[in-house]
Structure 1
Amino acid sequence: MTSQTDRLPPRAGLGLKPEHYADILDSRPDVGFFEVHAENYMGDGGAPHRYLEAITERYPLSLHGVGLSIGAAGPLDKAHLARLKKLIERYRPHSFSEHLAWSTHDEGFLNDLLPLPYTDETLERVAAHVDEAQEVLGCRMLLENPSTYILFQESTIDEIDFLAAVATRTGCGLLLDVNNVMVSAVNHKLDPLAYIDRFPVDLVGEIHLGGYDETVDGVGDRLLIDAHGSAVKSDVFLLYEHTLSRSGPVATLVEWDNDVPDFANLFAEGQRVDAALTAETARRNLRHRAA
């Protein structure tokens, strides 16, 4: 595996959407980086690549995969890996990440990110797949904590311990999705602050934020859905600020994939994140001067 030498700047990043291409190129907004879903750029040419090439001439790029199925029981899709490798070689992103999830079965692909039981067997499989992906792609990847709606009775390993074990075995980093933490914690009646306090923040190369939807389950309890269709909720943002108090400033993406707003509203979300990052930097500088 060849390690990536670049790192994303500790700034707010935005998901790059086709409806915003022109706004970005015309106004050149002060954005730390842009992130794209790898699968949207696996064609050989066309307008998406022309715009992405123009934007990556000006901004760092984070590449986020949603189709590698790193937790699948079967082997990784070699053709998919080859397409990813070609994309990484073409754009040389500052970061590549994937989900701790599975989405393939036999020769079928399920358009969802499905959870895994945390067992020794699953750990061996996920670590082997991460090793294979990093070797083929020639870069260190980040593995993202999932949002979950069920727990597996057969799980014998805590989620944080599972992620840390994969990182220790493979040398991969972690992507900490704070919205996913809140969604899972509320759904399973867990403490999101306790989760963040235990998370190995020294392994985190990127943070994700997003908006959730809320409903109730069959017994009337709160049920959060990782929807990415609204602004970051206030409880998630408070949890994010707590995360920064542990991790320090880390590149942070605002995910808004559904009901995408105009660029001005998305940019405002990024400015809110940049303000939190700047405030955390100032607090740390003040403590350093006082020490």
Structure 2
Amino acid sequence: MLATAIAGAGIGLRIPHVQQILADDSVEIPWLEVLVDNWLVDGGLNQHLLNRISERFPLVFHSVGLSLGGANTLDVDYLNKIKSLKQACGGHWYSEHASFSGNDDFKVADLLPLPYTAEAVMHISNRIKQTQDIMGERILLENVSTYMSCQHNELSEGEFIAAIAEEADCYLLLDINNAFVTSVNLDQQLQSFLDAVPAQRVKQIHLAGFHQKGDYLLDAHNHPVDPQVWNAYQRYIELNGNIPTMIEWDSEIPSLNRLLQERQIAADIMQFNSKPSAGVDQCA
């Protein structure tokens, strides 16, 4: 495992690329994000491959299965498995979503948004605190894409995320693609969301592509980053400094070379920007 700090532009580690990454010593990637749900198997080939990856590249961990905003009991066994794998591979931090995925009776294969209310702020914040106690560190909370608004909302999404970060004392993973998708789907101002999110707590950024579905955008992670998202990202970096940024593909995954070309765009934007991050300690 490597102790190198997380900085610059990374990519999401996807299984189709693992063998090429390990076989080619010339592959230069500052860091990788591990979608931990794909690797929670004791022993076996996957664990062996991930151990080899961790010897060459700094890692951060990300999951989709915790249902932080859910009403069911927090899955402590799941968290302990993530903690164990993260420690074994020297992962720098762990992130999850501001969402829920069902309850004890049913599960959905999606990240469902919460109502933006004071009650929901306290509910998910308490569960984040419990998660942080188990993990022994502050986690990163990611904003999700939404397709409809709740009539009971008391806050904007940006205010909601900011209130959780303050109450739970957690970091944030800012997904600019998710924010853009939401802004289009709900006819909102992307900049208003970005202005409301406390930049000093943003420890990582996600960039991804969406699928145009006619009258709405689907957060499918199956296309290159849209030019409008790149523009929003560049403005954000210019204002807030160079925050570690990851290119995310989850379906119709391109070749590693194509993915690295997209990573390079983010790297070039950060290289052009001379302003250091004014946020949290990115080496932590």
Residues 89-168 of structure 1: pairs in structure 2 closer than 5 A: 89-168=87-166
Instruction: Find the aligned partners of 1:19 and 1:146 in 2 and give their Cα distance.
Output: 25
Long gaps (5+) in structure 1 = 1-5, 217-221, 286-291
Ranges in structure 2 where 5+ consecutive residues have no aligned partner: 277-284
Q: CA deviation at 1:49?
A: 1.3
What RMSD in Å do the two structures reach over aligned CA positions?
1.5
Asked if the contact 2:145/2:179 (under 8 Å) is kept, the reply is yes
State the percentage of identical aligned residues: 35
The yes-or-no answer on 1:279 pairing with 2:277 is no
**Aligned-partner SS, 1:57:** helix
Q: Which residue of 1 aligns with 2:280?
A: none
| Residue 25 of structure 2 is aligned to residue 24 of structure 1 | no
Q: Deviations over 1:21-42 (max 9, x none)?
A: 1211122312111111111111
- Quick one: distance in 2 between partners of 1:46 and 1:13? 26
Alignment match of 1:14 (pick from 7, 11, 16): 11
Q: Give me the whole-angstrom Cα distance separating, in 2, the residues matched to 1:138 and 1:95.
A: 11
1:251 is matched with which residue: 228, 236, 244?
Answer: 244
In 1, Cα distance between equivalents of 2:194 and 2:137: 27
Number of the residue aligned with 1:3: none
Does the Cα contact within 8 Å between 1:252 and 1:273 map onto a contact in 2? yes
Letter in 2 for 1:267: L
Output the amino acid matched with 2:15. Answer: P
- The Cα shift of 1:13 comes to 0.8
Residues 113-140 of structure 1 deviation map (CA, whole Å, 9 limit, x = unaligned) = 1111011221111011000000011121
> What is the correspondence of 1:169-180 to structure 2 with a 5 Å cutoff?
169-180=167-178
Q: What is the deviation of 1:85?
A: 2.2
CA distance in 2 between counterparts of 1:248 and 1:271 reads 17
Q: Do structure 1's residue 74 and structure 2's residue 67 form an aligned pair?
A: no
Show CA shifts across 1:138-163 (max 9, x none). 12100001110010000112211221
Whether the 8 Å CA contact 2:66–2:96 is kept in 1: the answer is yes
Amino acid at match of 1:242: R
User: For the structure 1 residues 133 and 7, does the alpha-carbon distance in structure 2 shift closer, same or farther, using more than 3 Å as the test?
Assistant: farther
Aligned partner of residue 186 in structure 1, secondary structure: helix
For 2:37 and 2:4, the matched residues in 1 are separated by 22
The one-letter code sitting in structure 2 at the alignment partner of 1:81 is L
Q: How many residue pairs get matched?
A: 273
Matches within 5 A, 1:46-61: 46-61=44-59
Runs of 4+ aligned residues of structure 1 deviating over 6 Å after TM superposition are none
Aligned to 1:234: 227
Check the 8 A contact 2:69/2:99 in 1, yes or no.
yes
CA distance in 1, matches of 2:5, 2:67: 24
